[in-house]
Structure formats: C-alpha cells, structure tokens
Amino acid sequence: MDSADAYDGYLRQSANPDKDSAEAQTAAKEARHAMVCVYLTAIIQLSHILEPAARDRLARIALVHIERARAVEEMLLRMAQQGTLRHKVTEEALIGLLREISGEETKETKIIYRRRYCEDDDI
C-alpha cells in the first residue's frame, strides 16, 4: 500500500465522522444499558437475600462507606450463588460480615513528626 492509498483511506474515514460517532454513541448506550441491567439484577437479588432491617443498614452504610458496602454486597451475592446461605441474612449477620471486612481493611497508621526550626534555635 502506497501513501496515496493510505491517504484515500483516511479521506474515506474522515468523510463519515457522523457515522463513526453515531456508532460510538450506540455502543456507549448499549454498555450503559448492560451496566444498569446488571446493577438492577443485583439489587433484586439482594432484596431476596437480606431481611428489611439488614437491607436498610446496608443502604445507610453505602451512604458513608461505598467501597465497604459494595464489598459486602459482592460477598453476599457470591455466597448466594454458591448456595452457602440457608436463609435470609439478618441485621446481626450483616454486622458480622461488616466486622469481618473492616478487619481485613485495617489501615496501617504512620505518624510523622514535623519539627519547626526557627532561627533562634541555633543560640
């Protein structure tokens, strides 16, 4: 392929930018739709897994600690898919799962002392 053919191909591609952008928009809409469907399916499954009090607690936790709430939701969905849940999860069981996850996420604190040195300290 010589440079003239490459340039002709470039002109053909740039001649239809609306077609490319329309395809990209359609693909983005489909991806968004798929994500919403997965999210709604997870919400429905969680409503079957959790008792109302546990569901309310998880919703309140999600307002403050979104990552921790998502981790618990994923854990509950995984347990339900594996068949390890025999009955609906109570609020006490949810608290136990939250403690288990918060134990895994312990942060190592590091204290740094920054001393201020003044010109008068040299005396």
Sorted by where each begins, the domain ranges of the chain are 3-122
CB half-sphere exposure, 25, CA atoms < 13 A: 6
Q: When comparing pLDDT for 82 and 113, which is higher?
A: 82
Give the pLDDT confidence of 23-76 residue by residue, as tens digits.
888 899 999 999 888 888 888 888 889 999 999 999 999 999 899 999 999 999
What's the pLDDT at 4?
A: 61
In this structure, which CATH number among 1.10.8.140, 1.10.10.10, 1.25.40.10, 3.40.50.300 belongs to the domain 3-122?
1.10.8.140
pLDDT of residue 54: 93
Please list the residues that pair with 89 across neighbouring strands: 50
First to last CA, the chain: 79
DSSP per position, 74-123: HHHHHHHHHT---SPBPHHHHHHHHHHHHHHTPPPP---------GGGG-
| Token pair recorded at residue 27 | 């693909």
**pTM score, whole prediction:** 0.58
DSSP class of residue 87?
A: S
Looking at every residue in the chain, the average pLDDT score rounds to: 81
Residue written as token pair 């002709």: 8
- Residues 112, 97: Cα–Cα separation, whole Å: 33
